[in-house]
Amino acid sequence: MTQRADNNTLNRLIVSNLLWFFAAFALAFFVWVLASTQADPVSEQRFRTRIPVNVELDDGMTVVEQQTNSVWVTVRAQASVQDNLTAEDIIVSADLTGYGPGTYTIELETGLARRGHADTQPKQITLTIEEIRVQQVQVIAEIAPDRTLPPNFISQPASFSESQVTVRGVSSRVQQVVAARALLDLRDQRDTLRDNVRLVPVNADGDIVPEVDVEPQFVEVTVEIRQRDDLREVSVSPSIATGTLPEGYTLSAISYEPQTVFLIGSRDELSGVSTPLRTTEIDLSGRSQPFEISVPIVFATGEVFPILGDANVTVFLEVMPQTDTRQFDNIPIELVGLDDDLQAQASLEGVVVLVTGPAPLVRDLQAESIRVIVDIGDLGAGIYDLTPRAILPQTQIDPSGITVNPATITVTITPAEGDQPSP
């Protein structure tokens, strides 16, 4: 009995000590947590930059439309964690594994590499995903209307190093692709073309289908080109009767189209054609302004060949007056705008006027028709240096071609004699 009592006493002692130990441990842990919280408090705050959303998809799927690519993240953690948190520590993902083509609204999942809790704003996003499609299409050549060969050259159909290529993209776009087009430029080509050309995916209307990849993107093209035996390109020159220009006018510019034409005939027949071909003579009588005229091509005696296309040449001729300069001396000065109670006197009675302009107009100008005025309106008594201005009759002479010499004159303004103050 005594031994059993001793054992019970020992057990109670052990249990009592354990209880005190755990109580002391719990109290110490509580004190440690309280001290840690006070030293490193927990706070909730938004991370300083937006975090990209990582979309998880099955192989063969792709995102074609996404409501937003990044979100704001609010983190609840201790201050020491907040201070050292980086964008790489935060992972925001939208899990669409197992989803087929369609539009979905997905809850966002957030993970932190450090201790704490994170939430996103918005909490979910809407995405549209589609299946990636791959298909083979034919390679075709296209020559733009303004990039063709001249009429005296012909070409064989283009051949490519790859007759078919692969197009890859979202299913809805790849389904529109009917061919991979190579755009060719033959304007300056005179022999067989061999080049690497870029391919673009096109639909049935010939429009480029965007966001579709072509593999390979470049192929080698060959286009055999040769000169025709039944055409010859010859130059054209307009015939202009320059001696018919009106007196005082000059021909300042000439342009015309076409500058070459194509004659139809065999190589032997066309070998002796006199070049350049001429037009009928253009008479300039009565022409005083730029004008445009269409004139036919004429052949030398004994030479007549069919012309491919229009047999007329459009000629633009710029007829301009010749420039002349005349000096007019002692043109009287007119003082205008003087008040009735004042009188004025100019330092000169007349000035020299130089006029530069179209020769016919300058030649017909008379000194009596030129006025030189000095405006003294709103001026009171005093001595002024003023600028005279020359006025010509209604002509096409540019004011910049009119010069008055001297450029300034002195005008003295005094009260009128009847208004003189008494001495």
Query: Do 396 and 312 share a structural domain?
Result: no
Alpha carbon distance 111, 131 (integer Å): 28
CATH of the domain at 195: 2.170.120.40
> Is pLDDT above 90 for 220?
yes
Domain boundary among 227, 245, 278: 227
- The more confidently predicted of residues 297 and 1 is 297
Number of domains in the chain: 5
Query: Do 294 and 343 share a structural domain?
Result: no
CATH of the domain at 398: 2.170.120.30
Alpha carbon distance 116, 30 (integer Å): 20
- What pLDDT does 28 receive? 60
Question: Confidence class of residue 420 from pLDDT cuts 50, 70 and 90?
Answer: low
Domain boundary among 287, 321, 355: 321
Contact 388, 416 (CB under 8 A): no
Residue 355 lies in a domain: yes
Domain that holds residue 52: 45-122
Residue 264 lies in a domain: yes
Query: Do 235 and 218 share a structural domain?
Result: no
Alpha carbon distance 265, 284 (integer Å): 35
Query: Do 352 and 378 share a structural domain?
Result: yes
- What pLDDT does 422 receive? 47
Residue among 154, 126, 153, 11 nearest 66 (CA): 126
Q: Is pTM beyond 0.75 here?
A: no
- What pLDDT does 93 receive? 92
| 370-404 per-position pLDDT tens digit | 999 999 988 889 999 999 999 998 777 888 889 99
| 251-276 per-position pLDDT tens digit | 889 999 999 999 998 888 887 788 88
> Is pLDDT above 50 for 423?
no
| 26-61 per-position pLDDT tens digit | 666 665 555 555 556 778 888 889 999 999 998 889
Query: Do 407 and 329 share a structural domain?
Result: yes
Residue 127 lies in a domain: no
Residue among 169, 165, 174 nearest 198 (CA): 165
Alpha carbon distance 258, 265 (integer Å): 20
Q: What percent of the chain has pLDDT over 70?
A: 89
